[in-house]
Copies of this chain bind each other. A is one copy, B any other.
Amino acid sequence: MTAHNPSLTLVAGGAGFIGSHLCAELLARGEHVVCLDNLQTARPSNLRVLESHPNFTFIEGDIVNPLPGEIVALSDRFTRIYNLACAASPPQYQADPEHTMLTCVVGTDHLLRLSESSGARFLLTSTSEVYGDPEVHPQREGYRGFVNCTGPRACYDEGKRAAEAMTFDFARMGRAAVRVARIFNTYGPHMHPDDGRVVSNLICQILAGRKVTIYGDGNQTRSFCYVSDMVDGLIRLMESDADGLEPTNLGNPEERTLNELLDEILAVIGGPVAIDYLPLPVDDPRRRRPDIARAQEQLGWQPRVPLAEGLARTCAWFAEEIGAPDFENRLKVAAE
């Protein structure tokens, strides 16, 4: 590669929540990044920050369709391909379940074929949703999961399981060098205020002075990983020698009930708030916590940002993003 033709990293879904942080980190490390995104769930401001960087190229396109000519023209230069392209919150991925499934399967196939032709290493971001509503706790990578393949979450859960199957088949057939990350709940700046995920929901409701919504009794658990930790894990996995036929959990093993999460957020922003307890959605998992032994051992990785610190950064970002005028005052109240 000459200086005029540096090798490139493709980030599909690079304008989304985790994708935009990944692009920024790769750029900070000196990589040349091409972002392919259909802007379905991306926030335009995520992209604006990136586009000011000289080594960043944005190409609009949907991986469900044949890859854009600009991507094909660059294919010899790709050495890394990250696939983060898929709507990831239930209201978003259920709005067009056919598209969600095709994004997972056909989109992943298109990117795997690009990896095959370019010789680039491929990383699929799969999800803890492949474990469904788990009966084993915490979840290790060998656990086969408890997924309802006929329900309203199946377009995403089964789509990702199918994407994993296809990715490992490319590896088994010697067609591509692959990595698969199973991402657990992740939070931080650049989340969409309306994406329906619990951290953004709660923070935005509190900042707006509205009632907060808890689905179920709030005793179901999740494990929340701050986005900078997740991005660090993804890059370590991509660059690791872990070229096997096994996925790697990435997530924070510190488990919290949703009620505890609410308390932690209120400790940052200040309360009190009224709570609306609504019925639990169909197939909503009751517990979710990663076993990260494999990531610790293979990647030397574990989350470093404590929940309180991550939530403080996230609340501050949302306060600016949605314009919560009295946020500074409420911070003071909470600190007193």
Contact = CB atoms under 8 A, between A and B. Distances in A.
Assign chain A's interface to a size class. 35 or more
B170 A98 contact: yes
Interface string A147-166: 11111101101110110111
Given A101-B105, A105-B102, A105-B105, A149 B161 contact: yes
A152 B171 CA distance: 11
A150 B162 contact: no
A155 B165 contact: yes
Interface string A109-122: 10000000000000
A97 interface: yes
A317 interface: no
B162 A161 contact: yes
Nearest to A153: B165
Question: Closest 7 A-B residue pairs measured CB to CB?
Answer: A154-B165, A97-B169, A149-B161, A162-B162, A158-B165, A105-B105, A158-B162
Interface of A: 97-98, 101-102, 105-106, 109, 130, 132, 144-152, 154-155, 157-159, 161-162, 164-166, 168-170, 172-173, 180, 245-247
